[in-house]
Amino acid sequence: MIVEQLRCAGVIAAIRISRAAFPNRLPLSDFQSRFQIICPSSLRNASPVDMVVGLLKELLPEAAVNTKNSKFAVGKTKVYFSSGLLQKLEDRRNAILKDHALKIQKTVRGYVLRKRFVQLRAATIKIQAFSRGGFQKMRFRKFRAGVIRMQARHRGRKQRVVFAELVIKVRRERQLALERERQAQRERERESEKQRERESEQQRVLLQEQKRERELEAERLRKKELDSGSPVPSMTAYLEAAAKVAEAEAAARDAMEAAETALELSRELVAQNEKLRATLSTTASQYAETELVRENERLKERIVQLQTKVVRSQDVSVISVKVVDSRVIYRRGNQIVEYKLQIKTNNRGTVYTWHPYNIPHPCCQLID
């Protein structure tokens, strides 16, 4: 009963096999699935029996003559191994698995390191690009600044030539304008000189006519007094009156000469001012504009002062003095000779005034 049970369980067959020196066994399907990895590529798709025989032939070429030998035996469903053969297969399998694991690890590590290297290289390239870009930007800015400076100098050189030509042209035009102004000023001065000569000639003629009229008037009065039998005034009185009139005329002439002198000085100052203006225009590039403007202002103030003096002198200057009437008055034993002066001025019209002169008369002394 027990023996039958052991036979059915395969224990007796296992013991018999162990006695035959095949202690290890594996089903063919398990052997194929487990040791397919160590088989050559030509045996991987073969039948399990051919796979076992081909693999064991590679491991034990001297013993694998047939399927049943002292090292292994191949049955219908199982394969039996002698002592240590299965361990060799396991060692071969573990070595191959280790090689494959190392290859996988190497590949993974290589991938990780390559990926890290690619990232590091990309970062390095980016840093280098930024560094080279910054350096090239700085170099380009320096180059551009140098080019701009060179272009500016070139354009400045060309514009300075154009400006020099323009300055010469403007100076020539100003010189021509100044010459025209001087010519016009000389023409005006000649015209004013001719006008003054005409006025002086008219004044001289007028004074001669006034003198002739005074002489005629004195002659007429003398005849009238002789005809009327009234006492004839002394000739001394007439002479003194004529002397006073002459003094007044001399004062008027002096005033006219002073006015003409002031006008001449004003014209000279105007001409000097024009010269200074011309000097200012020609020396503007010598940085003396401030001093010239100050000098111009000072001359303008001087001109204004002189013009004010001229106006004042013209206001009080006597242009002509004319005796329009004369009479003799006896008062308290003195012969009072009065004559009426017609004084013409520039701005105040005509002034009439009486000038009395006390002259002792011999007849008046006898009466007293």
**Cβ atoms of residues 319 and 204 within 8 Å:** no
- pLDDT at residue 339 greater than cutoff 50: no
- pLDDT at residue 225 greater than cutoff 80: no
Confidence band of 112 (pLDDT split at 50, 70, 90)? very high
Domain edges within the chain: 1-83, 318-357
Report the C-alpha gap between 232 and 335 in whole angstroms.
11
Confidence band of 130 (pLDDT split at 50, 70, 90)? very high
The overall average pLDDT reported for the chain is: 74
Buried-exposed string 97-120: b where 16+ CB fall within 10 A, e elsewhere: eeeeeeeeeeeeeeeeeeeeeeee
Per-residue confidence (pLDDT) for residue 331, from 0 to 100: 43
For residue 89, give every residue at least 6 positions away whose Cβ sits within 8 Å of its Cβ, in sequence order, or none: 35, 38, 55, 59, 81
Confidence band of 13 (pLDDT split at 50, 70, 90)? low
Question: Per mean pLDDT, which of 34-48, 161-175, 187-201, 349-363 is the most reliable?
Answer: 161-175
Pick 344 or 268 by higher pLDDT.
268
Range of weakest confidence among 80-84, 267-271, 318-322: 318-322
Q: Give, as one character, the DSSP assignment of residue 42.
A: T
SS3 of residue 181 by DSSP: helix
pTM of the predicted model, to two decimals?
0.34
- Region 76-103: mean pLDDT is 84
- Region 162-168: mean pLDDT is 93
Confidence band of 281 (pLDDT split at 50, 70, 90)? low
Q: Where are the alpha helices (DSSP H) in 229-324?
A: 235-282, 289-316
Confidence band of 86 (pLDDT split at 50, 70, 90)? confident
User: Which of 184, 189, 207, 188 minimizes the C-alpha distance to 256?
Assistant: 207
Per-residue confidence (pLDDT) for residue 171, from 0 to 100: 93
Confidence band of 154 (pLDDT split at 50, 70, 90)? very high
CATH 3.30.70.1590 is held by the domain 1-83: yes
Range of weakest confidence among 90-99, 176-185, 347-356: 347-356
Q: Give, as one character, the DSSP assignment of residue 68.
A: B
Report angle CA 326, 330, 335 to the nearest 5 degrees: 70
- Region 346-359: mean pLDDT is 46
